[in-house]
Amino acid sequence: MTQAPELPPLHMRRDAFDPTAELRAIRETAGVRTVVNSFGMKVYLVTRHDDIKAVLSDHVRFSNGRPPGFVVPGAPPVSDEEQASARAGNLLGLDPPEHQRLRRMLTPEFTIRRMKRLEPRILEIVDAQLDAMENSGPPADLVKHFALPIPSLVICELLGVPYDDRDDFQHRSARQLDLSIPIADRLQLQRQGYAYMSSLVERARRQPGEDILGMLVREHGTELTDDELIGVASLLLLAGHETTSNMLGLGTLALLRHPEQLAAVRDDPDAIGPAVEELLRWLSIVHSAIPRITTTDVEIAGVHIPAGQLVFVSLPSGNRDPGFIGSPEILDIRRGAIGHLAFGHGVHHCLGAPLARMEMRIAFPALLRRFPGLALAEDFADVAFRSFHFIYGLKSLEVSW
């Protein structure tokens, strides 16, 4: 059994909302430095806004794929066959043109126009969740009653996953990306998730519904293998749970700590659009984009990186780079930080960004209008952050109203 480390790797360390001074020091000095990732591997950490954009734009020299024989130290051996089936359909592990082939099957489901059509349904889901929260408190855990169920319900409906199964898949998705859990256990959770999604794919093959799984089977069923369908759907389910929910929880806490800005989001309907962008920038919940591997010798910020090396880009650091934006450490919801990197950049730019934006634009004002007296019901110093999680957020948040 592996002992959980006391501190997460450098690029994941935070002081409440803020990236640590160590990360800033790298950005202000060399720009790129080697650090050790959670598996004890040497990686090159890129910290400046422009350098991050350059890396993420260049899928030829910075690949998402993994060369044959690439293994993570400490991971239990996995057969080639299982590895291939686990990688199929995972857009984040593919480079163009294979990546583009799969992404284009999904993008019609995430256009801005499609999101507009979803808006009334998201409003209903948010209202029902706020009703349930009102009936169960105060106080109440905002993560359990608001931040997690809203995106969970939305992605389940969109994808065609029964919400009644949520206890299992929410448990899995929360633990799969938690570094304090031994890698063998996480692999086991991944296997369980694969088996579950495989049962849903089998059902969709027989009886395709009016959801993304059904659409993929109807329109692309012959060109997609079962493993690809399982991979795509598993990624969407995981991404749908672990991203917007953390933004909703952490974003609410950020607003509670900035009462004037909270009041603006609550009272001014024009404030929410820019506020969502600024919260995305300032919180940057995804610590690092999927690690890239250099396919050739490269140079970033004057630092030489040989071929075959892992490159991490720090999204929080890039989003707080004074070369990108003035007073980067300050949360200012009025500026609507256009050009932030919270959704990434390049061909892997978040597929669900329009959905995430729509959910946040509806949910934050709805919460604050329902509970105009919303307040923290625990000491700020006691708030439980997800310190070891690939995606930053809160474990829980006690609130009253």
Can you say whether the dihedral through the CA atoms of 6, 248, 356, 274 is positive or negative? negative
Name the minimum Å distance from CB 258 to other proteins.
24
Neighbours of 332 (CB within 10 A): 17
* Pairwise CA distance, residues 253 & 138, whole Å: 17
* For other proteins, the closer CB: 40 or 96: 96
Chain-centroid distance, C-alpha 305: 27
Taking the least distance from each CB to other proteins, the nearer of 251 and 344 is 344
Shortest Å distance, C-beta 80 to other proteins: 30
Min dist CB 229 to other proteins, Å, is 19
Task: Label residue 234 exposed, middle or buried (CB < 10 Å: 0-12, 13-18, 19+).
Answer: buried
Nearer to other proteins by Cβ, of 219 and 329: the residue is: 219
**Shortest distance, CB of residue 30 to other proteins, whole angstroms?**
26
Least distance to other proteins, CB of residue 345, Å:
5
Q: How far apart are CA 242 and CA 53, in angstroms?
A: 23
Q: What is the DSSP string of 370-398?
A: H-TT-EESS-GGG--B-TTBSB--BS--E
Q: C-beta of 152: minimal distance to other proteins in Å? A: 23
Judged by the rule CB under 8 A, the positions of this chain that interact with other proteins are: 56-57, 100, 103-104, 107-108, 110-113, 338-339, 343-347, 349-350, 353-354
CA dihedral over 368, 371, 372, 376, signed as positive or negative: negative
Of 304 and 349, CB closest to other proteins: 349
Question: Of 189 and 235, which has the nearer Cβ to other proteins?
Answer: 235
The answer to whether 9 and 3 have CB atoms below 8 angstroms apart is no
Angle at which helices 98-106 and 226-242 cross, to 10°: 70
Closer by beta carbon to other proteins, 50 or else 226: 50
